[in-house]
Amino acid sequence: MTMDTARRAFIAGIGATAALGATGSLAHPATLPERFLPQLVNTYRTDWLAGDIHVTPDDFFLYFMLDRGLAIRYGVGVGRANLYEAGTFTVQRKAEWPRWRPTDAMIRREPGRYARFADGVPGGPENPLGARALYLYDADGHDTYLRIHGTNAPATIGTAVSNGCARLTNEHVIDLYPRVEIGAQVFLYPKVNTV
């Protein structure tokens, strides 16, 4: 894939996402600093393979890899220092407007905040998983309860506030979602900044 071909595919995908957002189907349009908007970038990483995802938590970036080191870079929010889990994972499931239920650990940690959702929340614009979710599994095929998902709180992009997941704006996760295949590898890099 040439830089020109990649740029055209990227612009077409973002244009379709913007059109979807204009229909009013997404509840919380995001205003983000320019650095967190999707951008076609050259990572200069020949060891990062096309189709894989790399999350650099201290920079708050998610890279969806194309060919020859090119990537679409998205701004993300990540897990708080004590909840962020670095590692290599596999996307084993994808969902549009997914149902959400806080994990048992979340309910134990903050019962006042999460116990009322113990029966789950149906998918929709107010759901904490947002418009789309990618479910991350470990090397043994177990669900890690880590997700790459949308958010109805776009102000959290560029912050470390989640319970461990990586979040994008709903518009951006809608753009990312069809690009990611089941079986894609996801690399969540260790945090250096533990604040």
pLDDT digits (tens, 9 = 90+) for 115-152: 888 888 888 888 889 999 999 999 999 999 999 999 98
Specify the pLDDT at position 4.
56
Q: What is the SS3 assignment for 49?
A: coil
User: The pTM is what?
Assistant: 0.84
Specify the pLDDT at position 23.
30
Catalytic member of 28, 54, 142, 165? 165
Whether 122 is in a domain gets the answer: yes
Whether 153 is in a domain gets the answer: yes
Give the CATH number of the domain where residue 116 resides: 2.40.440.10
Among 68, 76, 62, which Cα is nearest to 50's?
Answer: 68
Cα separation of 168 and 61, whole Å? 10
- List, as one string, the DSSP characters of 7-47: HHHHHHHHHHHHHHHHTT-SS------GGGS-EEEE---TT
Is 94:115 a contact under the CB 8 Å cutoff? Answer: no
Q: HSE on the CB side for 124, CA within 13 Å?
A: 4
Cα separation of 90 and 87, whole Å? 10
Number of domains in the chain: 1
Domain range enclosing 182: 3-188
Specify the pLDDT at position 163.
84
Whether 28 is a known active-site residue: answer: no
Q: pLDDT below 70 — which residues of the chain?
A: 1-30, 194-195
Catalytic member of 28, 54, 142, 149? 149
Whether 41 is in a domain gets the answer: yes
Whether 156 is in a domain gets the answer: yes
Specify the pLDDT at position 7.
53
Whether 165 is a known active-site residue: answer: yes
